[in-house]
Structures are given as structure tokens and as C-alpha cells.
Amino acid sequence: MIEETLPERPFQRFVLLAVADLTLDDREPVHSFVVRERCTARTTDVTCAEGGVERAVILRALESMTGDGPLTEVEATSPVGKGRPGYELDPDPTAVVDGLVHDSTVGDYATSLRD
């Protein structure tokens, strides 16, 4: 079940939803800077990003969800040709969106992805 792979922290759920959003746009593997851009664009849709979206916080959230979590870290080349870690979503992105629709902190963002 998808609920078992969803992180407990609201900000991590926000970052995971941004990864799912990018994956639905065929942007996988995703880099932290692209996730940050997507999160920054969607801060008005969530209640867990009042302090802004710093790259270091995004990186910590992404790294915390790798391994046994819903993300896999892969070596990927950035748009400028550097080898940087990329992240791929293990569950289906639609399942992540569906699993977060009723979440009180990111539900509006998730609902917007269903439309």
C-alpha cells in the first residue's frame, strides 16, 4: 500500500509530491534544483513551507526518502553536464498523488495534479 511508503513529515510529503509532479511531466530522474523550483512554485498550495524552500532542506528531504523510502538515488548528468545525484520515484506517481489528496498540509497541491 502506498500509505506505508509515504513519509511522516509534512515537508517531506511536499517534496515527494513535487517529485511525483515532475515524474508525471516525464522529467525523471529529477535533480534537487528542479525539485526546489517546483516546490517554490507551489508554496501557496501547501501549509508546510511557510519559511520558504531552501536547497539544503530539499536535499535533506530527498536523501531521507532514499534507501528504504519511495525514492532511489541514481547518478545522472545535470543540464550543464555535471554528474549529480538524480532521484527516481519507486511507486507510481499517480498512487503518490492519490495517497496525499486527503493530507491536510499538501492535499490542495495533490488535488490540483488530479485535475
Please answer whether residues 74 and 86 qualify as being in contact, where contact means their C-beta atoms are separated by less than 8 angstroms.
yes
Distances (CA, A) of 12 to 23, 78, 83, 95: 16, 23, 24, 16
Residue 16 C-beta-side C-alpha neighbours within 13 Å: 36
Global pTM value: 0.90
Confidence of residue 88 (pLDDT cuts 50, 70, 90): very high
What integer pLDDT is reported at residue 97 of this predicted model? 96
Highest mean pLDDT pick, 19-23, 42-46, 56-60, 81-85: 19-23
Beta-carbon count within 10 A of 91 CB:
18
Distance, CA of 53 to CA of 108 (rounded, Å): 18
